Amino acid sequence: MTVRLVFKHVAVVALALTLAACAPAAGSGTAAAPPAAAESSDAPVPAGHIHGSPPPPPAPLRAGERFQAITLAQPYRPAPPHGGTDEYRCFLIDLHLASAAFLMGTQFLPENAEIVHHAILYSVGPAEVEHARAVDAADPGDGWQCFGGSGLNSALGGFSGARDTPIGGWAPGIKETLLPGLVGIPVAAGTQIVLQIHYNLLATNGKPGPVDQSSVRLRLMPGTAAVTPLTGLRLVAPIELPCTPAESGPLCDRAAAIDDLVSRTGAQARATVNALTAYCHPGAPVTPGPTQSCDNRVTQSALVYTVSPHMHLLGRTIKVELNPGTPGAVTLLDQAYNFDDQSTRPLAQPVRVRPGDTLRLTCTYDASLRSQLPELKPLAPRYVVWGDGTSDEMCLATLAATRA
């Protein structure tokens, strides 16, 4: 399998954080001044994660815009499979869209923030709606299980194809904010929405109990409006985090840990780990360590406005660089990571990227947090790779841009 980095609404991995982002702040630099990154050994230990605060009210509607709310048909009680503590569930929702529109913004409204880890919205074009209905009907109960992606493509759903398009999402700290001017995502008449919700039940050790009926507020404008199409770029890097010297156990073996990940989340997990290694370090052996990076190649010109980071509970720092090591290098993001504040970071001025440019994503993790965080203390030590579970990790940054 190959992984391609492109400016289009196609996820390279199964996470899109947000496609509507903050207005750039005034300033003369090319990028927001980055806060100092915390060193792993000196960074404070979180007391626990609150999964964000209640969502704020939306910004006022602009001329021609309207809100449309979508919600789960009924409360859903997540049931993690295979003895795990995570479930990814997808729900098909009809927009009843009679004519083309632009999606100008989304605001996910988690009803039960104690169990909702993140959410992604996928658009399903009219030609693929029947396929989506068949996938839904084949899984008993509300929606269908969808680790790695929407579940509408191949078994390797983490690498999305033409049957779904990420158009928005939410993680703790994200709210509805808007780029300046009129930019939006084109949505065809007859399009339906797949709402993928990652439920985490670490607090109940995976036992069903809590329920959720989350909703999403969409901001729409007629498809005839003079709107500039918005696109997104997703940067990825692998995770190869061994157990600390103080830890031991069968899952400290990489192969055993990946087998366990597959048992909890499905066969696509192994394919994702292998594909990330091949994409980021072709022909090179895996080198374990707390810091991993990947050079993502740009294939289309675009103007980047914002960066949205995403890691899990062991994340310490995250950094995004344009053309590192060259005279024109620019740092787009360099920050100490806070799981409870994954909000979009605006650039002081939009940054242009061109075909052949390199966007390097670097993430640093701290495996010792596993023995300190209340959510992770009950779990056995393990070698951590890219995975869908909250006890696994991700290294991801989403950039909101317009095509140049």
Cα dihedral 71→76→80→86 (10° resolution): 40
Residue 157 pLDDT = 35
* Domain count of the fold of the chain: 1
Which residue range forms the structural domain that includes residue 160? 66-403
Q: What is the CATH number of the domain that holds 279?
A: 2.60.120.310
Q: Is residue 58 part of a domain?
A: no
* Residue 249 pLDDT > 80: yes
**380 phi and psi angles, rounded to 5 deg:** -70, 145
- The C-alpha angle with vertex 305 and arms to 352 and 357, in degrees rounded to 5, equals 30
Whether 21 is in a domain gets the answer: no
Q: What is the pLDDT of residue 134?
A: 95
Asked whether residue 378 is domain-assigned, the answer is yes
Q: Report yes or no on 181 lying in a domain.
A: yes
Using CA atoms, how far apart are residues 86 and 199, in angstroms rounded to an integer?
6
Return the pLDDT at 404.
63
Q: What is the tens place of the pLDDT at every residue in 43-95?
A: 565 555 545 456 678 889 999 999 999 999 999 999 998 888 999 999 999 99
Question: For residue 302, what is the enclosing H or E element?
Answer: strand 302-310
Question: Does the residue 34 lie in any domain?
Answer: no
C-alpha torsion sign, points 296, 166, 383, 263: negative
- Whether residue 49 is contained in a domain is answered as no
Predicted pLDDT of residue 383: 98
Q: 341-392, pLDDT tens digit by residue?
A: 887 888 989 999 999 999 999 999 999 999 999 888 889 999 999 998 888 9
Q: What is the pTM of this model?
A: 0.73
Percentage of residues in the chain having pLDDT higher than 70: 83
Question: Does some domain include residue 294?
Answer: yes
Residue 60 lies in a domain: no
